[in-house]
Amino acid sequence: MKIAVLPGDGIGPEVTQEALRVLDALQLPGLKLLEGDVGAAGYRNHGHPLPPETLAMAREADAVLFGAVGDPACDNLDRHLRPEQAVLGLRKELDLFANLRPAKGFDGLEELSALRPEIAREIDLVIVRELTGDIYFGEKARHVLLDGRREGWDRMAYAEDEVRRIAHVAFRTAQTRGNRVTSVDKANVLETSRLWREVVEEVAVEYLDVALEHMYVDNAAMQLVKAPGAFDVVLTSNLFGDILSDQASMCVGSIGLLASASLGERQTAYGTFGLYEPIHGSAPDIAGQGKANPMATILSAAMMLRHSFGLEAEAARIENAVASALKDGVRGVDLGGTLGCAAIGEAVCERL
């Protein structure tokens, strides 16, 4: 079982190290770790945020464990050299079109949610975000208009097959949970969304046991803070999913707690090939200080065991260990506590 470990920038290396410590504590036989540079680290050491050798390593692995990328020192680089291109490039090159971002409340954290405790307690949803299309990957350009004004533009588009395959993922995910899908779009304004809605309706016919509703993204943003417990599976596009998943993390309590799996269709000998990363970024302001909360990355490693290695029991062990650490009051700085990255990793290992 080969894992390509790509720690990246900022707090990426710290949080990845704790996830590896947790994997190590499980003593899984046959695990092989490869390590590669991505992001600003890739640019510094190889001249590109996604060096060809890193991409090759990821392709050769059964799963990728990813930290975070982003570095203010790279803000003025051309877009194709910016650290973010590493994760965007991996998603695209590896055809990881389905991004699962679960958001579930933890016992004992209700008071730390940005929402009232009785509302926060209810949250248990998964965002199924399309990850390789939309305005993220459409043509982009800068022009100078005839009258001299500068203009920037990005093309938003979805082809029907792109919508269809992510819709299937959402419906299948719903079948393992509460059998409800909320498809989030902006069909009152965007043609892209009108096609999205049409295709989702077509796919829904194959899942008569799953209830489907459509919701405009502005309303979804509102409902997510008003009554997050009303959602089960949220199916949405790349851009809307990016925004709503950060919002969902604040309902749970901290962006340091939300994990993600990015999956495609490729099967390995052990499960579905995937890339696993916390939804947070590289947090350059606290990088290298040991202050980051590694729980999101640890939980991402759990998702990796579940989806890429078929190790459901081990995945659940990690998730239970994190939940019980939180219940016992293990708190990083992000949650108003004082524990550092390594101490949190250790607390999780103790509870495994």
32 in catalytic set: no
Instruction: Select 57 or 303, whichever has its Cβ closest to Mg ion.
Output: 303
Catalytic residue among 37, 71, 134, 136: 136
Q: Is 134 in the site for Mg ion (CB under 5 A)?
A: no
Residues 280 to 319 in contact with ligand IPM, rule: CB under 6 A: 281
Site for ligand IPM contains 242 (CB under 6 A): yes
Q: Is there a catalytic annotation at residue 136?
A: yes
The answer to whether residues 251 and 224 touch, using CB atoms and an 8 Å cutoff, is yes
The answer to whether 83 and 49 have CB atoms below 8 angstroms apart is yes
- Taking CB under 6 A as the binding criterion, the range among 27-35, 83-91, 113-121, 332-340 that sits at the site for ligand IPM is 83-91
26, 81, 84, 135: which one binds ligand IPM (CB under 6 A): 84
- Establish whether 242 is a catalytic residue: yes
Q: Which of 24, 161, 218, 328 is catalytic?
A: 218
- 84: partner contacted, choices ligand IPM, Mg ion, none (Cβ within 5-8 A by kind): ligand IPM
Q: How far is the CB of 84 from ligand IPM (least distance, A)?
A: 4
CB under 5 to 8 A by kind: which of Mg ion, ligand IPM, none does 88 bind? Answer: ligand IPM
CA–CA separation, 180 and 182 (whole Å)? 7
How many residues bind ligand IPM (CB under 6 A)? The answer is 6
Residue 207 vs 240, nearer CB to ligand IPM: 240
Ranked by CB distance to ligand IPM, the top (closest) residue is 84
Residue tagged active-site, from 37, 185, 186, 207: 186
- Which one of 18, 37, 242, 314 is in contact with Mg ion (CB under 5 A)? 242
Q: Does residue 88 bind ligand IPM (CB under 6 A)?
A: yes
User: Is residue 78 annotated as part of the catalytic site, yes or no?
Assistant: no
Q: Choosing among ligand IPM, Mg ion, none, which partner's interface includes residue 87 (Cβ < 5 to 8 Å by kind)?
A: ligand IPM
71 binds, among Mg ion, ligand IPM, none (CB under 5 to 8 A by kind): none
Q: Looking at 6, 22, 40, 87, which residue binds ligand IPM (CB under 6 A)?
A: 87
Closest Cα to residue 98, out of 68, 126, 125, 128?
128
Sign of dihedral through CA atoms 270, 271, 273, 278? negative
Q: What is the SS3 string spanning the chain?
A: CEEEEEEECCCHHHHHHHHHHHHHHHCCCCCEEEECCCCHHHHHHHCCCCCHHHHHHHHHCCEEEEEECCCHHHCCCCHHHCCHHHHHHHHHHCCCCEEEEEEECCCCCHHHCCCCHHHHCCCEEEEEEECCCHHHCCCEEEEECCCCCEEEEECCCCCHHHHHHHHHHHHHHHHCCCCEEEEEECCCCCHHHHHHHHHHHHHHCCCCCCEEEEEEHHHHHHHHHHCHHHCCEEEECHHHHHHHHHHHHHHHCCHHHCEEEEEEEEECCCCEEEEEEECCCCCHHHCCCCCCCCHHHHHHHHHHHHHHHCCHHHHHHHHHHHHHHHHCCCCEHHHCCCECHHHHHHHHHHCC
Annotated catalytic residue within 134, 242, 291, 334: 242
Residue 218 annotated as catalytic: yes
Which parts of 173-232 interact with ligand IPM (CB under 6 A)? none
Catalytic residue among 2, 95, 246, 270: 246
Chain residues that interact with Mg ion, rule: CB under 5 A: 242
Chain residues that interact with ligand IPM, rule: CB under 6 A: 84, 87-88, 242, 279, 281
Residues marked as catalytic:
136, 186, 218, 242, 246
